[in-house]
Structure 1
Amino acid sequence: MTASGATVVYESEVTQVGGQVEAFLGHGLLIFFGAQSPVELHDMSVLHKATLEDDGPRAGDLLQVGSTELEVLAVGPVVRDNLLNLGHLDLKADGRTEPNLPGDVCVRVGDLPLLRVGDHFRITRPGNSREQHT
């Protein structure tokens, strides 16, 4: 739990940033994969190693991506399983309140940060959200 009463449900550390990640940022997309992902995906992805894997994101959660904090507006139905099993998440700064694709995590329209090795990716759930994922 954090000082604000929020609960950290997922946390990881960036281990590698692919050469094409910055180009995808220009389109409002940041792709995460676990370090064990296929080599073909490394160039377009932020690779990370989880240190806490209790749950995936839900609408209303906060994502801390490096030093940037973003509110989750919408989450596709396969996001939780993809993140917990593969370390995979597609973060889209499209402002949508309904995901376009089943693997989308939507946040406000705006710039997404270019991450560096050692940065953290964290999902926190506000303290008033006690329900369990079913």
Structure 2
Amino acid sequence: MTGNHAADTFTDQYSFDLAAGSSVSADLFSYSGNAKNGLDITGFGLYSSDGTLVLAGTQLETGKTDQWHLQTTGLSGTGYYLQVEGTVLSRAAGSYSASLAVTPVPEPATYGMMLGGLALVGVMARRRKQ
């Protein structure tokens, strides 16, 4: 990018799919040399693929460092995206980083295999007693 983009706004979206019942935990950080350089993160949210806001992130810190967090459970098995919104503060470079942890729910076949394994262990234990 060239030129002065101070006061320009941006919106970035990161799409992904989840299994039904999954949970999401995400953190976003932006560091500016001072409050007048870099980026000011103004929004962080989880949206369903149809554009419906599922959960707005919570701003934990602002200023030299912007920090946001969001966490939710029991999501349906549809597409989602994280959206990051902000303002460019000056001509100086700015960046942000995010981490996303997804906890999937086991497939029904996994439960079946686990129950089958437990039954097998029970049969083996009963044979040893006799």
What is the TM-score when the length of structure 2 is the normalising length?
0.27
* Largest Rg, 1 or 2: 2
* Larger RCO (alpha carbons 8 Å, 6+ apart): 2
| TM-score normalised according to structure 1 size | 0.26
Q: Which has the higher strand share?
A: 2
